[in-house]
Chain A
């Protein structure tokens, strides 16, 4: 009964409801603008809500978080610039849909599926938080490393065309991620003694350049081409469509919750893994992946919103942040006189249930705001190219600068934009580069931690993998997925199954 009351606190006080709504609305637009991130918005809110009570402050932050994760898909679909790293996979199929005149439908499906993913995430948080948190804690450095290797193997699904070019692009991404002072020993890597390289290359700048600027440059070639008329019927997906993708979205939401709950990984990796999963399990997509497959929207969008609920799991049960945003929210709870930690759930269960209620409300607001005004948004794609190209460039420059307020990030962004243009021109996929940059640190740091912990002894390292059930499962998956991408697998399959059928 107390639990229910705590969940419903938000409805008892209209101003809380209003704040969640306002936060979600603002979040969608902050998330949609590349470079403006939820992390940044929430950290500014800490000062802004300093003198407030804790409930209103948290309401606003939760709204922004939920809305922001969803908002990243907007620009990804309409302009091919992911508003946030977790929307990279969304751009790969969403943008081709917009180019076919189906932007409205793409946004509609994305919104409903984000809502669904968010819902699953919140339900898991409410019903199984302590259990999931304990599971997340069993991940050792070697498991994070195996997870990163598993992620690297996604290169295959993210490259359209030549796999060799995909692997090259992925390796380039890993190298870009390694630039700067190594975070464990502060040794400079690939810095060539230049001050500008010391802090590393901002990953957001690479992303905005590779997607946004290269897109603008590519479109310069057909600046006089008439833009596609957008179909604006069928924006809200029918029940039939939702039911069709229900099994897939349940699977990808589960991926999202677990990856989100792991303290070392977040929505960006979850979305890419979900995309890969969808590509594996969807045998005959109506439209091929990368050309505008609906499954390619459903998977990442359910996963990244499910990761929101997931990120709150270790935060609420253990006081360990699941990602950057929850790390700031822990700081906010401290400032407001609470002590986030393992005792919070026991001392102040109301806070936990209040957050569950606020998340739930934000999720509903996201659905409402997401489904209204789509028609106006689809007009963006219908604008003449001579207007849209400068707009993309402007947005890219502002976005790259806003990340760290550093002009050097803008230079990096423009440089990678031109580079990305030539990569596209010669048929190199861009997705794997971003994948490489995201996974670079995860792989590098955890491999070193794992091997240092075993006194730099490979024998002991493999002994650890074999004796831990979790590591063994991950290791086997890595091997299986790797082998399934080689000709050996096809040969094996025809030998076994080929004989059986004949």
Chain B
């Protein structure tokens, strides 16, 4: 085979890729949402995507693909061609699949298009609970070991990480963790008195707090939120939390690794502009999410840092199936 011939093939291949990128999108794009309809991820994706579509000049057909904590959707997109026509719209969970024994893939197989926003955890209590703030709750736990029921959403969920943080900072707490399907059902259970305390995402709890249906104990952040200025940050009770905060679940759009760079650039641009739309930012603000809208190296760095911190926190609390070390997840600061 002559060199010239090889060169022609390479040139053809090159022009073919260039053609796809120039025409992109030339057909409908599939957006696979990792979580069910009506949930936080679903709401975020369905409200940002129409604005991104306008910039992109194409259609993104979104569908919910649930199951196995989102692993089914992740594996589906990871197995799709890396041509930018299949997007993964997901939350933070995949970063913990490996250490939780839920799967062998995570976002390292993907290129982040945009990490849109991050949530802030807040500790809320039943409105009739015999304590009014974080310090009161700690005193109650000390006085009544093994009695306080704290809501959870299974290993790797936001409540499990917050609880792991509390165990690390305050020493092992003697409480009962009652598992629910998600923070929605758990907050319902909180109002009915089936559980006493729930670490939830601010956006999910905010309306209940405003109506007095539940009591806020502390915000899991380094400073109070302007949404609820009266709720103290947990660092004001114990400085030890500052090591781990700010921390929160996040939402992002991803494509499989190997997607042509200019397609990634086009998508990133579309979602970056879509995320600036005032309708979207005001929705995120009212639900108590912190806008991030980062992409490229910045997003990669964020993901790495998030994974290191959370994985080791859970591992040290004894909640993982495998050590983060096995998957090359370095201890933060190392």
**Residue positions of A touching B, CB distance < 8 A:** 39-40, 42-43, 46-47, 50-51, 137-141, 180-181, 183-186, 198-200, 263-264, 318-321, 324, 327-331, 334-335, 337, 339-343, 404-405, 445, 448-449, 452-453, 455
Contact = CB atoms under 8 A, between A and B. Distances in A.
Given A198-B71, A327-B37, A186 B154 contact: yes
Nearest to B62: A47
A452 B147 CA distance: 11
B47 interface: yes
Contact of A342 (B179, B193, B211): B211
B191 interface: yes
Interface string B323-334: 000000000000
Contacts of B155: 185-186
Contacts of B287: 334
12 contacts: A50-B47, A141-B189, A180-B68, A181-B102, A183-B154, A320-B188, A321-B38, A337-B282, A342-B208, A452-B178, A453-B194, A455-B176
A404 B50 CA distance: 23
A148 to B, nearest CB: 15
Interface in B47-71: 47, 49-50, 62-69, 71
Nearest to B100: A186
Interface in B208-257: 208, 210-213
B65 A405 contact: yes
A184 B64 contact: no
B72 interface: yes
B15 interface: no
A46 B64 CA distance: 12
A256 B284 CA distance: 36
B184 A449 contact: no
A39 B208 contact: no
Q: Which 10 A-B pairs have the closest CB atoms?
A: A341-B207, A199-B67, A342-B211, A43-B37, A327-B38, A184-B179, A328-B38, A331-B38, A137-B192, A331-B43
Interface string B128-165: 00000000000000000010010000111000000000
Contacts of A343: 207, 210-211
Contacts of B64: 43
Contact of A199 (B68, B146, B149, B179): B68
Contacts of A319: 207-208
Contact of A140 (B63, B102, B177, B194): B194
B246 to A, nearest CB: 23
Contacts of B296: none
A339 B189 CA distance: 20
Contacts of B191: 137, 318, 320
Given A185-B155, A341-B208, A405 B63 contact: yes
B37 A318 contact: no
B50 A47 contact: yes
Contact of A181 (B39, B68, B194, B210): B68
Contacts of B193: 140
A135 B69 CA distance: 32
A200 B72 CA distance: 11
B207 A330 contact: no
Nearest to A51: B50
B62 to A, nearest CB: 6
A143 B184 CA distance: 19
B22 interface: no
B319 to A, nearest CB: 11
A328 B37 contact: yes
B192 to A, nearest CB: 4
